[in-house]
Amino acid sequence: MGEDRATRAEEIETLRLGLDLGATLIDTAEMYGEGRAEQLIGQAVAGRRDEAFLVSKVYPHNASREGAVAACDRSLRRLRTDRIDLYLLHWRGSVPLSETMEVFITLQQVGKIRYYGVSNLDINDMQELWTVPGGSAVATNQLLYNLARRGIEWDLLPWLRERHVLVMAYSPIEQAELAFHRKLANFARKYGMTPAQAALAWLLANDDVIVIPKTSRRERLKENLGALDHRLTTTQLAELDRLFPPPTRTRPLEML
């Protein structure tokens, strides 16, 4: 969401290159830049809307009956589209989950959104969600998940898998910190990839995990997509388990 013209142009070209290379899912939120990210995406996908799968998120304080409809309409205008492919509750707030699910269902019925889901909901929240009308129809739970943040594997991830709810892993390279992690760099060098590619390939080894790395540069986008060329073996996955051990107890849900 660069303010200067050159940065903005690079961001738009990065999004368009992603579509060219088959990376069709674009994740955003009304919170990102207070709508500026959605505006930029709308410009980038202009004339190519049907090639993109657009994901956006509503603020918790906007997730009421009236608030979510208005927020969704604002996002639609900024994205220059008549529908959002996947609409998420950004995190748990004070609005009852039952009310949010009710308005999500209404938005779906009128065609403003195709699917709906949640983000940053822990297992207790998900269990409550399952008791309200429409809650069990969520398509995904977008969560902080990467090699350095494996806490969801203890209880939340198995719970979601039992119910066929996909995980969208945000910050998969830990805000670029894993790209400079010494042990991961040694692992990646041994197997002919970059540390970022190793971190992404570890997540991509799971068929029910969607990975959404953030980048605004075409060069970095190509590097990220290169992770698809590295299908990790069971030996490599075991090696990463030793370097980044899985949880041995329940932990509070981590968020960024």
Q: Which of 32, 59, 115, 191 is catalytic?
A: 32
Structure tokens at 200: 């992404």
pTM of this prediction exceeds 0.85: yes
pLDDT in tens, the chain (256 residues): 656 889 999 999 999 999 999 999 999 999 999 999 999 999 999 999 999 999 999 999 999 999 999 999 999 999 999 999 999 999 999 999 999 999 999 999 999 999 999 999 999 999 999 999 999 999 999 999 999 999 999 999 999 999 999 999 999 999 999 999 999 999 999 999 999 999 999 999 999 999 999 999 999 999 999 999 999 999 999 999 999 999 999 999 999 9
Distances from the Cα of 24 to the Cαs of 27, 48, 79, 133, in angstroms?
Answer: 10, 10, 15, 31
Known active-site residue 145: no
Distances from the Cα of 149 to the Cαs of 5, 133, 144, 188, in angstroms?
Answer: 36, 31, 7, 19
Sign of the alpha-carbon dihedral angle for 66, 69, 73, 74: positive
Q: Which helix (H) or strand (E) holds 99?
A: helix 97-109
Burial class (CB in 10 A: 0-12, 13-18, 19+), 133: exposed
Asked if residues 91 and 255 have their Cβ atoms less than 8 Å apart, the reply is: yes
